[in-house]
Chain A
Amino acid sequence: MRPYLRAVTLPGEKRKERILEIERLHKVFHVNDGFQPVLEEISFRAEAGELICILGRSGCGKSTLLKIVAGFISPSSGKVLLKGKSVKMPGPDRCVIFQEDALFPWLTVAENIAFGLRGRGQDKKSKAEEVERFLGLVGLREFRDYLPGDLSGGMKQRVALARVLILKPEVLLMDEPFASLDAQSREEMQKLLLSLWRELGHTILFVTHDVYEAVILADKILLMSKNPGRIREEIRVDLPRPRSRDGSGFHHFCRKLYEAIRD
């Protein structure tokens, strides 16, 4: 096939573009004179608009993998390609939602959301409109002038979502973002994430240890094993959306995954 033909999109077909490619990533930590391999031979790719869950038990290196993709730590070998370009430093094209609260406690909700827009050469009015729009998207209009210290855990993560989505990142990296929330808020946040994803169509890499969460969210699940962390299986989740926790298909899928994760 000649190269220019590849870009042609057929009518009705979803445009599939490789956004993120992870190529043969290895990571070794130095632990008192010794070496501890943490990640081994990690390769996968994400297409535009895909929601990928990285599922594994604690200590399997899934957070380390995410930090490498984010550019916070560098791999021992291997590459992270974003739209074909190797990336090494953190940047607004790969935004992160952390597990812990990482909002700026001296800024209000609205100021936190506007933070990344500073220095982007956008005029004041359109910035304010953007902030307003994303405040609305995460349902925090009435809380715009609150400080993070006065918000619940779920609300903080909404602000964290809004402040990175406003930057229109290519990839959203989420590191067990809902793990510290209570069950009800976690479910709410999953719903919110899915509706934002449907509306804005981001590519998402979502790290979790929760099988149910992975099955509710993912197009594709990367199942990781421990010591050293490898991708053991790549599982497509072909359950129709919107997914419900009550369907028998859902439970069947979860049970299969549980068994896979146990051995």
Chain B
Amino acid sequence: MSENKDKRNRGGAWRFLPWFIPSLFLILWIVVSAGGLIPTYLLPHPRDIAETGYAYVFGKLGGGPYAGRFLSDAGSSLLRVGCGFAVAVAVGLPLGILSGRLSVVQRLTSTTVNALRAVPGITWLPLAMVWFGIGMKTTVFLVALASFFPIFLNAAAGARQVDPLLLQAGAMMGVKRLRGTFAILIPGAMPHLMTGLRLGLGISWAYLVLGELTGVPNGLGAVIMDARMLGRIDMIVVGIIIIAVIGRLTDQLLQGGMRFCFKSARRMV
């Protein structure tokens, strides 16, 4: 396809392009810090951030308040995001596709879903804490709830816009309903499904931090909250950067995984 053609024959500048804005930002930051324009208790020097980050990721446990905690924090956060996102996918994707194709399901779900969608996710936090206590369950609940909506809504939109001609073509070639769902409907809706999954995963990270702000002992959100209370602004910034990096990596992993598994994701998204 024409997009693929565009990807070929690009020079080094093309490869550098995604890093342009972060680099610009970093340079500006260094200049501002070096000039002493902003006091360090509001924005630490990038060098301090780098040191704190290095200690957090590679340091020995016990070498400092946050040294070496990265693996266990990232591990538990990933587990929470993974569980919540998996629940949202398992419920949202099939339900969304059904609601996109069957007007009964659409009518059954649309009022409820859209009403619940209007409730800000943070509103659920007090209730979730009462129901599930502090920690894993509350976070998974919040993540699942928040990422359900983009996954469901995009799956429904995707399934709805699949060209009926393609389904007719399948029917006349003898494709039964179940196979048609996997061989025609899902590939045909793939661009939308992908969008929904990526949005869902993105929002998962947002609600992960929300869930972890409530005083759990470990996790990336917990570290940030802890650092705030101790006035360790450098650690807060490290936490933000790490979540940005992991968020981006999981997004790419999701896309790569989908491309690996589905021809339609490889060729149409």
Contacts and interface: CB of A to CB of B under 8 A. Distances in A.
Interface of A: 70-72, 89-92, 94-96, 98, 100, 102-107, 111, 115-116, 118-119, 147, 149-150, 163-164, 167
Contact of A90 (B165, B171, B179, B268): B171
Given A98-B165, A119-B179, A149-B1, A104 B173 contact: no
Given A102-B169, A105-B267, 16 more contacts: A70-B172, A72-B172, A91-B171, A92-B172, A94-B172, A96-B172, A102-B166, A104-B169, A106-B187, A106-B264, A115-B173, A116-B175, A118-B179, A147-B1, A164-B173, A167-B173
Contact of A95 (B166, B173, B268): B173
B165 A102 contact: yes
B174 interface: yes
B173 A92 contact: yes
Contacts of A98: 165, 168-169
A164 B172 CA distance: 9
Contacts of B190: 106
Contacts of A116: 173-175
A92 B1 contact: no
Contact of A150 (B1, B187, B268): B1
B1 A95 contact: no
A104 B165 contact: no
Interface string B151-167: 00000000000010110
Contacts of B264: 106
B168 A102 contact: yes
Contacts of B183: 115, 118
Given A106-B264, A106-B267, A96 B169 contact: yes
Contact of A106 (B174, B175, B268): B268
A104 B187 contact: yes
9 contacts: A72-B171, A96-B169, A104-B188, A105-B268, A106-B190, A106-B263, A106-B264, A116-B173, A167-B174
Interface in B253-269: 263-264, 267-268
Contact of B174 (A92, A96, A103, A150): A92
A35 to B, nearest CB: 24
B184 interface: yes
Given A98-B165, A147-B267, A149-B1, A104 B172 contact: no
Contacts of A147: 1, 267
A95 B168 CA distance: 10
B129 to A, nearest CB: 45
A90 B172 contact: yes
A163 to B, nearest CB: 7
A164 B173 CA distance: 7
A89 B166 CA distance: 16
Nearest to B267: A106
Interface in B46-97: none
A89 B177 CA distance: 13
Contacts of B263: 106-107, 111
A91 B174 contact: yes
A72 B165 CA distance: 10
Report, nearest first, the 7 A-B pairs whose CB atoms are least far apart.
A106-B264, A116-B173, A92-B174, A90-B171, A102-B169, A90-B172, A102-B165
A111 B188 CA distance: 15
A115 B184 CA distance: 10
Contact of A91 (B163, B166, B172): B172
Contacts of A102: 163, 165-166, 168-169
Contacts of A106: 187-188, 190, 263-264, 267-268
Contacts of A72: 168, 171-172
A253 B169 CA distance: 35
B192 to A, nearest CB: 13
A122 B13 CA distance: 51
Contacts of B268: 105-106
Contacts of B172: 70-72, 90-92, 94-96, 164
A215 B5 CA distance: 44
A102 B173 CA distance: 12
Nearest to A67: B168
Nearest to B169: A102
B100 to A, nearest CB: 18
A71 B170 CA distance: 13
A98 to B, nearest CB: 6
B161 to A, nearest CB: 13
A91 B173 CA distance: 6
A227 B173 CA distance: 32
